[in-house]
Amino acid sequence: MRNLEESFSRSFSYSNLVWCTSLEFMDFGWNGFLLQIPREARLVSEGGNARSGYMRLETENYFFEVKWEEAQQKKVKPLSEVVEAFIKKLEKDTKQKIPVRGRRKTNVSGHDTLVLSLKSAMEERIYFWYCEESLRITILRCVFKLIDTNSRTIIRQIVASFKCHGGESNLWTPPQSIFRAPSNFQLTERKMMIGRTYLLLLEHKVAPFTERRREIFFEYNSMASIRFEDEYKDPNKWVEKRYLKDLKKRYRGIKFHATAEEKINGHTAIIKEGSARTGLTTRKSSLYANATWYCEDLNRIYSVTTSEHVARPWPLKRKMDEKTFEEFSREFLSTIKCH
Ligand SMILES: [Zn+2]
Ligand SMILES: [Zn+2]
């Protein structure tokens, strides 16, 4: 009897556990999209930028993909055309005829949306819509081994939470971190590897005889206590010994002239301010702010560099607004959650 009770309670709590772990959701933000994904899902590949690109999130049992493409209002293809092209491509890739089981209409993020149910080797639900706010045609593809209560709940949550436009700032969620950046900053460079991850977001403005750029360079190094045994507890030392050389390759002429301490997400960060002047015929002035800290929770060293660059042909004067830049840097740092 006891055994039976025990095994019952074990199987009961087990199924409870599965229920809890598989259906816990978290915010995921990338390239101006914001949605809730199951906590177990991992971003395994991505490319492009806010205008056109793709991303794929995976677990052991299912995956979902988002693909988007810029479409100016007057040149938007009808969704039916997008759908046909998608099926054709899928049939070409899988070298088999893909039967469409169902077509229906719904609404995603306020947009009229077409949904296809497909049976490839897996069960697929594919959503197609055009966002007239962000001027993107978006395809959301959810692929499961089978459609059951669990998968239905997951699809429902992803679709209901999906936002493709709006807001002056975008949420970005590189693995286990969060930050917000103004929505006109574009992802232009990234590396996501074991050990080191960075994202470069860029805002570019060109006016007659002036080129103005602001950058956010967000980076973290994992396994810090092992890899930087002597420096990981002292961010200042880490920057000097391990990082400055790399930073100088990216930002030519960078020189730091002031250092302070500040709290970021509960950690003590070292803040360095700096500047640079380069170029002969086209002269460039730059302002920099670097914040570096050790996050014990994830054993990572974070190093975030914001910068502003103004380039003008000589002898035109380059005006930099240090106060506005400082506010921008400070505001950006305040959005970061590192763990
Ligand atoms: Zn939208
Ligand atoms: Zn942290």
Segment 179-228, tens digit of pLDDT? 999 999 999 999 999 899 999 999 999 988 999 999 999 999 999 999 99
CA 100 – CA 39 distance, rounded (Å): 30
Ligand nearest to the CA of 140: 1
pLDDT digits 0-9 by tens, 256-290? 998 999 999 999 999 999 999 988 888 999 999 99
Of 18-22, 66-70, 315-319, minimum mean pLDDT range: 18-22
CA 160 – CA 271 distance, rounded (Å): 40
Half-sphere exposure of 159 (CA within 13 A, CB side): 24
Q: Which domains does the chain possess?
A: 2-166 (3.40.1000.10), 170-334 (3.40.1000)
Contact 177, 198 (CB under 8 A): no
317 falls in which pLDDT band (50, 70, 90)?
confident
Ligand nearest to the CA of 136: 1
Contact 303, 287 (CB under 8 A): no
Tell me the residues surrounding ligand 1 (ion) with CB < 5 Å: 109, 131, 133, 164-165
* Predicted pLDDT at 328: 97
Ligand nearest to the CA of 301: 2
Backbone phi, psi, residue 222, to 5°: -90, 170
Give CA torsion, residues 94, 97, 99, 105, to 10 deg.
Answer: 70
166 falls in which pLDDT band (50, 70, 90)?
confident
For ligand 2, the distance from its centroid to the CA atom of residue 309, given in whole angstroms, is 29
% of the chain residues with pLDDT over 90: 83
For ligand 1, the distance from its centroid to the CA atom of residue 46, given in whole angstroms, is 20
For ligand 1, the distance from its centroid to the CA atom of residue 15, given in whole angstroms, is 37
CA 74 – CA 63 distance, rounded (Å): 33
* Predicted pLDDT at 1: 38
Q: Over range 290-297, report the average pLDDT.
A: 98
What is the biggest distance separating any 2 CA atoms in the chain, rounded to whole angstroms? 92
For ligand 1, the distance from its centroid to the CA atom of residue 331, given in whole angstroms, is 26
Average pLDDT, the chain: 91
Ligand nearest to the CA of 107: 1
Q: Measured at the alpha carbon of residue 145, what is the angle toward residues 144 and 147, in degrees to the nearest 5?
A: 65
3 falls in which pLDDT band (50, 70, 90)?
very low
User: Is 60 exceeded by the pLDDT of residue 19?
Assistant: no
pLDDT digits 0-9 by tens, 111-142? 999 999 998 889 999 999 999 999 999 999 99
Ligand nearest to the CA of 265: 2
User: Is 70 exceeded by the pLDDT of residue 9?
Assistant: no
15 falls in which pLDDT band (50, 70, 90)?
very low
* CB contact set of 102 (below 8 Å; sequence gap of 6+): 115, 116, 117
* CB contact set of 203 (below 8 Å; sequence gap of 6+): 182, 184, 185, 186, 213, 214, 215
* Predicted pLDDT at 318: 85
For ligand 1, the distance from its centroid to the CA atom of residue 297, given in whole angstroms, is 36
For ligand 1, the distance from its centroid to the CA atom of residue 107, given in whole angstroms, is 11
Q: Is the peptide bond before 235 cis (omega within 30 degrees of 0)?
A: no
CA 110 – CA 97 distance, rounded (Å): 32
CA 212 – CA 184 distance, rounded (Å): 13
* Predicted pLDDT at 279: 87
What residue type is 161 in one-letter code? S
What residue type is 86 in one-letter code? F
Ligand nearest to the CA of 336: 2
For ligand 1, the distance from its centroid to the CA atom of residue 75, given in whole angstroms, is 17
CA 62 to chain centre: 21
Selection from 179, 323, 148 nearest residue 264 by Cα: 179
User: Is 50 exceeded by the pLDDT of residue 5?
Assistant: no
Residue 78 is given by DSSP the state: P
pLDDT digits 0-9 by tens, 234-260? 999 999 999 999 999 999 999 999 899
Half-sphere exposure of 256 (CA within 13 A, CB side): 20
Q: Is 223 left (phi over 0), alpha (psi -120 to 50) or beta?
A: left
Q: Is the peptide bond before 182 cis (omega within 30 degrees of 0)?
A: no
* Predicted pLDDT at 274: 95
State whether the Cα torsion 258-260-264-268 is positive or negative: positive
* CB contact set of 94 (below 8 Å; sequence gap of 6+): 120, 121
For ligand 1, the distance from its centroid to the CA atom of residue 106, given in whole angstroms, is 14
Residue 135 is given by DSSP the state: T
For ligand 2, the distance from its centroid to the CA atom of residue 338, given in whole angstroms, is 4
For ligand 1, the distance from its centroid to the CA atom of residue 175, given in whole angstroms, is 24
* CB contact set of 184 (below 8 Å; sequence gap of 6+): 203
* Predicted pLDDT at 22: 52
pLDDT digits 0-9 by tens, 148-164? 999 999 999 999 999 99
User: Is 90 exceeded by the pLDDT of residue 18?
Assistant: no
User: Is 70 exceeded by the pLDDT of residue 20?
Assistant: no
For ligand 2, the distance from its centroid to the CA atom of residue 281, given in whole angstroms, is 44
* Predicted pLDDT at 192: 92
User: Is 90 exceeded by the pLDDT of residue 229?
Assistant: yes
For ligand 1, the distance from its centroid to the CA atom of residue 108, given in whole angstroms, is 8
